[in-house]
Amino acid sequence: MKQIKVYGPGCQRCETVAQMVKDAAAKLSIDAEVEKVSDPVQIAMAGVMSTPGISVDGVLVHAGGLPDVSKLEGWLAS
């Protein structure tokens, strides 16, 4: 199971990214646990300088803005 974290304060963009991750995982039939992290200390400790951020299995793969869907699917598939 992939462990995915979406980092952000809870803004609309962060909610959209969380839904994009869930949709991409479902499309690819990937078993994924998606956790939303809104604590500023945890966000900073993860190295996210601009939200929303995404980590897959502990590796930060994206920070700032909405990710490209094809890139998101690539992160989840690898």
Three-state SS annotation for 25-59: HHHCCCCEEEEEECCHHHHHHCCCCCCCEEEECCE
Q: What is the pTM of this model?
A: 0.94
**Which active-site residues does the annotation give?**
11, 14
> What whole-number distance in Å separates Cα of residue 41 and Cα of residue 20?
24
Task: Render pLDDT for 44-76 as a digit per residue (tens, 0 to 9).
Answer: 999 999 999 999 999 999 999 999 999 999 999
Percentage of the residues of the chain whose pLDDT score is greater than 70: 100
> What whole-number distance in Å separates Cα of residue 45 and Cα of residue 39?
10
Which residue, among 29, 46, 36, 45, has the nearest Cα to 9 in the 3D structure?
36
Q: Report how far apart, in Å, the C-alpha atoms of 1 and of each of 12, 15, 20, 40, 53 are.
A: 27, 22, 18, 26, 20
The domains of the chain, with CATH numbers, are 2-77 (3.40.30.10)
